[in-house]
């Protein structure tokens, strides 16, 4: 009886489809006025805006548009926008 060694078939092929999704872009700019600021969204428009630090005044931010109201003149507010995408930036 003869014996046969196992060989891997070098012609077996497995095909994969890979979809590369772009990173989320939470870019925006703020245009201030005396008591307010208007956000211009330059990245993804599905983000949520928040004040990054607790304000010491009655300032408010619209979570959908980023518009700031009731701000105090000459005060700096740190604003964050988080997109809804599942992919973090590099």
Q: Residue for token digits 């607790």? A: 54
Nearest to 52 by CA among 24, 26, 81: 81
Cα separation, 66 vs 69, whole angstroms: 10
Query: pLDDT digit string (tens) for 49-88?
Result: 999 988 889 999 999 999 999 999 888 899 999 888 765 5
Task: Quote the pLDDT of residue 57.
Answer: 92
Ranges of each domain in the chain: 28-82
Query: pLDDT digit string (tens) for 7-50?
Result: 555 555 556 666 656 677 888 999 988 889 999 999 888 889 99
Task: Quote the pLDDT of residue 45.
Answer: 86
Residue 1 has pLDDT above 50, yes or no: no
């Amino acid at each position: 009886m003869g014996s046969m060694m196992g060989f891997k078939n070098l012609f077996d092929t497995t095909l994969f489809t890979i979809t590369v999704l772009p990173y989320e872009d939470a870019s925006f700019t703020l245009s201030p006025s005396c008591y307010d600021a208007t956000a211009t969204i330059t990245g993804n428009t599905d983000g949520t805006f928040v004040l990054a630090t607790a304000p010491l005044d009655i300032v408010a931010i619209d979570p959908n548009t980023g518009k700031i109201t009731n701000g105090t003149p000459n005060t700096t507010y740190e604003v964050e926008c988080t997109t809804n995408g599942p992919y973090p930036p590099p």
